[in-house]
Structure 1
Amino acid sequence: MDIHGFVYFTTILLGIAVLAISFTSHIGFGAIIGFIAAGIFVGPSVLSISSEGSELREFAELGVVLLLFTIGLEMQPRKLWSMRRLVFGLGAMQVVITGLALAGVLGAVGSPWNAALIGGMGLALSSTAFVLPILGEKGELQSPHGRAAFGVLLFQDLAIVPLLAIVPLIASRSHTTSSESGEEILFAVGEATMALLFLVFTARYIIPRLLGLLTRHRNRKAFAGLVMFSVFGSAYLMDSVGLSMALGTFLLGMLLSASEYRHQIEAIVDPFKGFLLALFFIAVGMSMDINLFFEDPVGIVAVALLLIAGKILVLFFISLILGQGRAVSARVAILLGQSGEFGFVLFGAAFAHGLMLDAGFNRAVLIISLTMVLTPFLARISNWAGIKLTPELVGPNLSKEHREAVPPEETNHVILAGYGRVGTTIGRMLTEAKIPFIAFDLDPMRVQRAREKGLNVFYGDVGDELVLSSGGIGKASCMVITAQDSHSTEKILEAVHNTYKDLRVFARARFLSEADEFVKAGATLAIPDTLESSLRLGEIVLEAAGSPPDEASRISKFFRDNGYSALRANPSVKHGPFFGK
């Protein structure tokens, strides 16, 4: 495609995407369905502006890779270890039992055993790209069903590695001897192990030091460049040794999750992730052969629905056996009822090695795409089933299953924008009152000193809405801005006001006029520190001069009340050196 064709295609695609997303979001189906609808319209089935859906999908799968990286940033190793039963218990049983059951069905309808095995395992995998954004948007990733779904999806991402490895082994017989094949396998295992060890060492010891060096030199552009280089470098490293790119970025994110820079890293990666995931969903729509669908609509829909129903039943009973409870089991099973993007990858490899014919491959892609399109509807059914199956509350106490549905993270915490002298003082007061807080600062040495004391302080620009989001601003009780310069404070207020209008924001100001500007910009209250120090000093002077403490406090309160109205009435004070012009 030349530059003129690219511009034409992009213009039409963006126009249709905006209309489709606006419509689907308005009727409550969300943006994902809109992206897929846009892909169908520009694809070969409708307008036929472009037929490069499969190539675009392969490129846009980098969005899934970045998605796994950001999930890794939230998944510290100890948290992953605490989920081992979900990942290697529930996840492993889902892949093996569902895959073998589907393979049996495919074998019963006439597929060769090797094609049936790959087909069953590929259809058993669910869609990370669809499910995790839905859980993230609803804030349910840390709920019991969110954790269980993530555990299953994570094992599926791990399972794609051996599944891709066995495709050439069970395809047409190789001309190499068994000893040569064994040597090749051992070499591949050794190569993969070395790559994993190198990634762990680099992510644990090299990258954090380089990020620290760049922050000390205040080189934020190089900081962002190093972050993206590390993410795509880890993906390339894993891909070069035959492992999943998503596995590499997930490990990188998990190893950086304890870093004081993780919120800023997430803010850098998130725009790329959102763009590539949108392209991925558009590419899924472009890959759907609507003409094939209209040749046998009843058959295609029936197979897709039977596939979803079968996967739901198997995972539901597995979850029940492992003690997840009816409500959680139903929500997880329904939410993961679709097939996923790794099915495209696995079937593409099978097609390349002659395990699948062209007609079978196209039909499988259409069925997978159709089940993925139904994911938002499955999410709604999942929520409904969870509500219906949740045990009733008994007396003042919640049932165990209902208690577990509460996310474990702290809520009603305070966000401190800046951790200098003022921020540190407020943080110590919050700690004394046992009120949780999270603080952000752009001074790496200050952040490092605070973290060495075990404080919840991170490197990050709070003027970035993505940093605010990663700091849990949606669950915060209030926010305190302690920046010294007015430009930084106004930038933060703008970022907060754009999305979180109801959040109480308290700002530090230098002068009374500056405090007024901050309130106009959205601050709930702005305190001019020079004025407050003057009033406090005045109280001390009054007491030293013989005024009773109560009288000194009354006079100070008189000048402080109603936005310092008594001081505003005095022109000499209002325009004095303490309050600006």
Structure 2
Amino acid sequence: MASPSEHASFLPPVLTFLSAAVIGVPIFRLIGQSAVLGYLVAGVLIGPACFSLIHEPETAASVAEIGVVLLLFIVGLELHLSQLVSMRRDIFGLGTAQLLLCSLLLGGAGVLFGLPMAAATVIGIALALSATAVALQLLEERGDLGTPYGARAFAVLLFQDLSVVGILALMPLLASAGGGGNAPWLGEAALSTAKVLGAIAAVVLVGRYGLNPFFRLLAASGAREVMTAAALLVVLGTAMLMQVVGLSMAMGAFLAGILLAESNFRHQLEADIEPFRGMLLGLFFMSVGMSIDGGLVRAVWPALFGATFAAILVKVALVAGLFRLFGSPWLDALRGAAVLAPAGEFAFVLLPQAEGLGLTDATATRFAVALAALTMLIGPVAAKGLDLVLARARPDLPEPATDVIESAEARVLVIGFGRFGQILTQVLLAEGINVTVIDKDVEQIRSASRFGFRIYYGDGTRLDVLRAAGIGRVELVCVCVDDPDAALKIVDIVHEEFSAVRTYVRAYDRMHAVELMNRDVDYQLRETSESALAFGRATLEGLGLQPEAAAARAEDVRKRDVARLVLQQAGALPEGTGWLRGVAAPEIKPEPLTVPQRPSRALSAETRDIIGHDRREAAERMLEKPAPERQAEPDEEEPALETEGARRDG
């Protein structure tokens, strides 16, 4: 049996990673730097290059790669197939030009410094690739992923991920160059391509026809943790399939996200994945910092840092020129080039494989790996420095305009799509107001297919779901859930986290309305008040009252009811006082707004048993009223009933 110490052996490295993250990242954020840089420096400090607190950085790197996978999945969720098609010029035009020109120039520099042609080619390609995780994290922190330059940068990254399978196939060809091995290589390439196409077709078919029914079935079970497990299963399963056939895991996750971008469960999936993505992506950046060879850096630091700065400058100059050629303004071109300057994650895959194939020797591989890691360390600093320079040079320059995306179009977020929410959204849509709706009832989601807007599966009481649905970008949130406690929780979250968003809330009853008023909501309405007043008005008309008189009577009752509600909320009435002070108070009981003409009369023995004990209290209240208000018409039954009630009470 394993000892407790063996069971706890995994805790020291976990605690080391967590401590490095919670110390390093806030420090770098306080000094105005990116969180990416904080993770990278933390990795350097705990890795072999400094304090050697982690002895096996390779193990951490293999786990941390899942962070990049989840990041690409969330990016895929934000895109639609139509958007991807519209980006084809940037993906295949700009992406191809960037990879070819940067590879040629960086590889040519390697040849000038004495590297063989094959080694210079592989190292040039590895350095020409860009760090997807670093670039997307920087764009996300800036809020620029939806801007024109952010979209172009993402298109370049996407092409690089697509080209990895071809690059991996090119390396055996380079290794066998001049040896007559072309025919076997062509056969292997054809087989690899067929596997890739078959896997993509299988994923598309399953995603198109199987994922929505699958998630609908799980959502109907009501087990939220099962939905989280299913989301991870889909993402990691697709990533592993793509890796088996030769594509990158990140590419597989991106494909899974694209397939689920149209799903009603999109926001809930994004909220479930986000915590895993954030932690594992931070671990990935720390693993990159740990991969830096401290001994090599100390031995050849002038050459290494010189090559790092040269590679960053070359990539920034080339990519900025290409962005400008494809229509970006100079400012956007420089910003896009800065986020693409660090070398990519695939450098840590391509370079060791090149050494295994004999394309590079051990010294060149170590130098290139350290160079790639340092570009990822220095690249975010360069991007931040460029932002500061541009801000000082052009202080009046506006921020880049963000392209309108679906979540930003919605002016109103409606939480709850039941009977109340459906009628509300009909009014908003009739006026042409764009709406986003959240509901966790599968049947309501299914019925929403008849409406002209999107409704997303999710729990509106969760902060992560509200964020994923874009609550920070709407003007107003309408809380239409029929659970009073859930409505109060949503109001508290919105007021605490999104104070600029106005809150309009459906109140369940009078008690709930007072609680909402105490929370300073912008508007509240009891769910049955207006419909009941309209019903009463129609009843008066049915009894022969003129429509104008019936409407005036209903309006008078409405005003007096609102006045009583305000008094109850302020604690000016007895039934509201104790509750306002936060003490357990009696329930607010219905009270007539108009003084009754006579006491209530029970018409059966059973009724008298039920209400008899309240008769004396009612009579005493009547006696407290001024005489004109308590005049009653003669009624022969009244004295007998009062006598009988008093006899039971006494």
Q: Give the TM-score taking structure 2 as reference length.
A: 0.81
Q: Which residue of 1 aligns with 2:503?
A: 505
Summarize the Cα distance change of 1:288–1:521 in structure 2 as closer, same or farther, 3 Å threshold.
farther
- The answer to whether the 8 A contact 2:445-2:455 is kept is yes
- The answer to whether the 8 A contact 2:196-2:247 is kept is yes
Alignment match of 1:423 (pick from 421, 424, 433): 421
Q: Which amino acid is the alignment partner of residue 136 of structure 1?
A: E
Q: Which residue of 2 aligns with 1:399?
A: none
5 Å-filtered alignment, 1:216-235, equals 216-235=220-239
Q: How far 1:70 sits from its partner (Å)?
A: 0.8
Summarize the Cα distance change of 1:522–1:386 in structure 2 as closer, same or farther, 3 Å threshold.
farther
Q: Which residue of 1 aligns with 2:468?
A: 470
2:373 is the counterpart of 1:369: yes
Q: How far 1:476 sits from its partner (Å)?
A: 0.8
Alignment match of 2:588 (pick from 569, 572, 575): 575
Q: Give the Cα separation in 1 of the matches to 2:564 and 2:39.
A: 52
- The answer to whether the 8 A contact 2:144-2:402 is kept is no
Q: Give the Cα separation in 1 of the matches to 2:154 and 2:385.
A: 18
Q: Give the Cα separation in 2 of the matches to 1:446 and 1:291.
A: 62
Q: Which residue of 2 aligns with 1:440?
A: 438
Alignment match of 1:482 (pick from 467, 472, 480): 480
Q: Give the Cα separation in 1 of the matches to 2:129 and 2:509.
A: 60
Summarize the Cα distance change of 1:578–1:80 in structure 2 as closer, same or farther, 3 Å threshold.
farther
5 Å-filtered alignment, 1:311-326, equals 311-326=315-330
Q: How far 1:218 sits from its partner (Å)?
A: 3.0
CA-to-aligned-CA distance 1:356-397 (integer Å, 9 cap, x gap): 33322222222222221233323334545666898989xxxx
Q: Give the Cα separation in 2 of the matches to 1:470 and 1:10.
A: 29
Q: Which residue of 2 aligns with 1:152?
A: 156
Q: Which amino acid is the alignment partner of residue 228 of structure 1?
A: L
Q: How far 1:484 sits from its partner (Å)?
A: 0.8
Q: Which residue of 2 aligns with 1:398?
A: none
Q: Which residue of 1 aligns with 2:186?
A: 182
Structure 1, unmatched stretches of 5+, are: 394-401
Q: Which amino acid is the alignment partner of residue 408 of structure 1?
A: V
Q: How far 1:112 sits from its partner (Å)?
A: 0.9
2:136 is the counterpart of 1:132: yes
Moved more, 246-255 or 457-466: 457-466
5 Å-filtered alignment, 1:312-461, equals 312-384=316-388, 405-409=401-405, 410-411=408-409, 413-461=411-459
Alignment match of 2:37 (pick from 10, 17, 33): 33
Q: How far 1:539 sits from its partner (Å)?
A: 6.0
Q: Which amino acid is the alignment partner of residue 473 of structure 1?
A: I
Q: How far 1:302 sits from its partner (Å)?
A: 1.6
Q: Give the Cα separation in 2 of the matches to 1:490 and 1:408.
A: 32
Q: Give the Cα separation in 1 of the matches to 2:395 and 2:372.
A: 34
Q: Which residue of 2 aligns with 1:101?
A: 105
Q: Which residue of 2 aligns with 1:284?
A: 288
Q: Give the Cα separation in 2 of the matches to 1:185 and 1:354.
A: 20
Alignment match of 1:557 (pick from 559, 582, 585): 559
Q: Which residue of 1 aligns with 2:648?
A: none
Q: How far 1:224 sits from its partner (Å)?
A: 2.5
Q: How far 1:421 sits from its partner (Å)?
A: 1.1
Summarize the Cα distance change of 1:152–1:391 in structure 2 as closer, same or farther, 3 Å threshold.
farther
Q: Which amino acid is the alignment partner of residue 483 of structure 2?
A: D
The percentage of aligned residue pairs carrying the same residue is: 32
- The answer to whether the 8 A contact 2:36-2:137 is kept is no
Summarize the Cα distance change of 1:259–1:291 in structure 2 as closer, same or farther, 3 Å threshold.
same
Q: Which residue of 1 aligns with 2:51?
A: 47
CA-to-aligned-CA distance 1:132-160 (integer Å, 9 cap, x gap): 12212332111111111111111111112
Q: Give the Cα separation in 1 of the matches to 2:404 and 2:530.
A: 39
Q: Which amino acid is the alignment partner of residue 575 of structure 1?
A: I
Summarize the Cα distance change of 1:119–1:566 in structure 2 as closer, same or farther, 3 Å threshold.
closer
Q: How far 1:319 sits from its partner (Å)?
A: 1.5
Q: Give the Cα separation in 1 of the matches to 2:61 and 2:454.
A: 40
CA-to-aligned-CA distance 1:158-190 (integer Å, 9 cap, x gap): 112211222222125698954333222222221
2:163 is the counterpart of 1:165: no
Summarize the Cα distance change of 1:368–1:578 in structure 2 as closer, same or farther, 3 Å threshold.
farther
5 Å-filtered alignment, 1:106-121, equals 106-121=110-125
Q: Give the Cα separation in 2 of the matches to 1:356 and 1:462.
A: 55
Q: How far 1:6 sits from its partner (Å)?
A: 2.3
Q: How far 1:264 sits from its partner (Å)?
A: 1.1
Moved more, 558-567 or 365-374: 558-567
- The answer to whether the 8 A contact 1:531-1:578 is kept is no
Q: Give the Cα separation in 2 of the matches to 1:26 and 1:184.
A: 52
Q: Give the Cα separation in 1 of the matches to 2:140 and 2:96.
A: 23
Q: Give the Cα separation in 2 of the matches to 1:505 and 1:348.
A: 56
Summarize the Cα distance change of 1:310–1:562 in structure 2 as closer, same or farther, 3 Å threshold.
farther
- The answer to whether the 8 A contact 1:494-1:522 is kept is no
Structure 2, unmatched stretches of 5+, are: 577-586, 593-650
3-state SS of paired residue (2:155)? helix
Q: Which residue of 1 aligns with 2:275?
A: 271
Summarize the Cα distance change of 1:303–1:455 in structure 2 as closer, same or farther, 3 Å threshold.
same
- The answer to whether the 8 A contact 1:327-1:390 is kept is no
Q: Give the Cα separation in 1 of the matches to 2:505 and 2:305.
A: 57
Summarize the Cα distance change of 1:558–1:376 in structure 2 as closer, same or farther, 3 Å threshold.
farther
Summarize the Cα distance change of 1:386–1:450 in structure 2 as closer, same or farther, 3 Å threshold.
farther
Q: How far 1:497 sits from its partner (Å)?
A: 4.1
Q: Which residue of 2 aligns with 1:20?
A: 24
Summarize the Cα distance change of 1:534–1:227 in structure 2 as closer, same or farther, 3 Å threshold.
same
Q: How far 1:472 sits from its partner (Å)?
A: 1.2
Q: Which protein shows a greater Rg?
A: 2
Q: Which amino acid is the alignment partner of residue 441 of structure 1?
A: D
Summarize the Cα distance change of 1:191–1:119 in structure 2 as closer, same or farther, 3 Å threshold.
same
Q: Give the Cα separation in 2 of the matches to 1:259 and 1:539.
A: 44
Q: Give the Cα separation in 1 of the matches to 2:514 and 2:178.
A: 78
Q: How far 1:291 sits from its partner (Å)?
A: 3.5
Number of equivalent positions: 571
- The answer to whether the 8 A contact 2:438-2:458 is kept is yes
Q: How far 1:213 sits from its partner (Å)?
A: 2.0
- The answer to whether the 8 A contact 1:70-1:266 is kept is yes
Q: Give the Cα separation in 1 of the matches to 2:228 and 2:463.
A: 16
- The answer to whether the 8 A contact 2:312-2:379 is kept is no
Q: Which amino acid is the alignment partner of residue 290 of structure 2?
A: M
Summarize the Cα distance change of 1:144–1:257 in structure 2 as closer, same or farther, 3 Å threshold.
same
Q: Which residue of 2 aligns with 1:397?
A: none
**What RMSD, in angstroms, separates the aligned Cα atoms of the two structures?**
2.9
- The answer to whether the 8 A contact 2:316-2:337 is kept is yes
3-state SS of paired residue (2:53)? coil
Q: Give the Cα separation in 2 of the matches to 1:6 and 1:154.
A: 36
Q: Give the TM-score taking structure 1 as reference length.
A: 0.90
Q: Which residue of 2 aligns with 1:89?
A: 93
Q: How far 1:253 sits from its partner (Å)?
A: 0.9
Q: Which residue of 2 aligns with 1:67?
A: 71
CA-to-aligned-CA distance 1:241-264 (integer Å, 9 cap, x gap): 111111111111101111111111
3-state SS of paired residue (2:261)? coil
Q: How far 1:283 sits from its partner (Å)?
A: 0.7
CA-to-aligned-CA distance 1:98-151 (integer Å, 9 cap, x gap): 111111111111111111111111101111111112212332111111111111
Moved more, 356-365 or 281-290: 356-365
- The answer to whether the 8 A contact 1:511-1:578 is kept is no
Summarize the Cα distance change of 1:25–1:295 in structure 2 as closer, same or farther, 3 Å threshold.
same
Q: Which amino acid is the alignment partner of residue 49 of structure 1?
A: L
Summarize the Cα distance change of 1:540–1:382 in structure 2 as closer, same or farther, 3 Å threshold.
farther
Summarize the Cα distance change of 1:404–1:280 in structure 2 as closer, same or farther, 3 Å threshold.
closer
